[in-house]
Amino acid sequence: MIYPTAEDWAYFAGLIDGEGSLQINRRKRQERRSPSYHATLSIANTDRRIIDWLQERWPGYDLRPYTLPSGRTAYRWSVQGDPMRPLLTHVRPWLVAKADQAWVVLEFLAQRTTFPGKRPVSPEELSLREGFALALNYLHRRGTNAA
């Protein structure tokens, strides 16, 4: 592992702004009464060197190759849930295009309540989680004349 420098964090922010995706996804499972919500940060690129650079500095996160419709191989580095917190908190001062999205995801992670086992999630908690997901979706559309 290479310990990230301030310049690495700034470059990481640029990758998030340019190639990254911040998501809060809703998933309904048949065996559970309540849907689950998962926050994810992913960065995809066809240049494996960029993904390797990320993996050297922030190892242990999910790394997956996949095939684009053009037939080219792309690579995705991603992290989900609470492990995102320190990364987004540290990189946030350098974010420009995705600063608001990062704030929504960090608030989602900070404010959600966990419900162990198969206990249903309270209606208030579901409403809170859905609100964060909708806020993030709005921010995704903001740059495409969605107002």
How many domains does the chain fold into?
A: 1
Residue 86 inside a domain? The answer is yes
Residue 147 inside a domain? The answer is no
**What is the rounded average pLDDT for all residues in the chain?**
88
* pLDDT confidence of residue 85: 94
Residue 1 inside a domain? The answer is no
* pLDDT confidence of residue 27: 84
Residue 128 inside a domain? The answer is yes
pTM of the model: 0.86
Token pair in block for residue 78: 């991603």
Angle at 71 between CA 68 and CA 76, to 5 degrees: 35
Residue 108 inside a domain? The answer is yes
pLDDT tens profile 78-114: 999 999 999 999 999 999 999 999 999 999 999 887 7
The CATH number of residue 138's host domain is 3.10.28.10
* pLDDT confidence of residue 64: 81
Residue 27 inside a domain? The answer is yes
- Structural domain including 13 reads 6-142
Average pLDDT over residues 115-137: 85
**In the structure, what pLDDT confidence band is assigned to residue 132 with cuts at 50, 70 and 90?**
very high
